[in-house]
Amino acid sequence: MLKAMSPGVVDFLFRRLVAGESAEDVHWHREGTALSAQPPGAELARRLAETDLEALTPTELFHYVRAAQRLSAWAESLRQDAVGRYCDGGGVQDAL
């Protein structure tokens, strides 16, 4: 099933094609650790929070979403570990 692309995506791809460039923004990958390679943690959270979503290309937005998913999964695992410790009695006695 084919999905329609937004006008912004079509415009981006057309400008890249006319310029004879790849549809992927290779300059973004040269600016440091790519979001796709940034390990989950405080630095990734900071980078995501400081990113201007309106300035991202479609490829960058894709990597942003994937990085946000990794960060969310990491935070959920921290929460589950803490709940497990609490339920095993580690936090119950301290709470009383």
* 64 within a domain of the structure (yes/no): yes
* 34 within a domain of the structure (yes/no): no
Dump pLDDT digits (tens) for 26-57: 555 555 778 888 899 999 999 999 988 888 88
Tokens, residue 25: 């923004």
- How many Cβ atoms from other residues are within 10 Å of residue 71's Cβ? 20
Domain count, the chain: 1
* 33 within a domain of the structure (yes/no): no
* 70 within a domain of the structure (yes/no): yes
CB–CB of 55/27 below 8 Å? no
Domain of 80, in residue numbers: 9-14+40-96
Please tell me the distance from the alpha carbon of residue 56 to that of residue 6, in angstroms, as a whole number. 14
* 67 within a domain of the structure (yes/no): yes
The mean pLDDT of the chain is 80
* 69 within a domain of the structure (yes/no): yes
Please tell me the distance from the alpha carbon of residue 82 to that of residue 57, in angstroms, as a whole number. 37
Instruction: Please state the pTM of the whole predicted model.
Output: 0.61
pLDDT for residue 1: 47
* 4 within a domain of the structure (yes/no): no
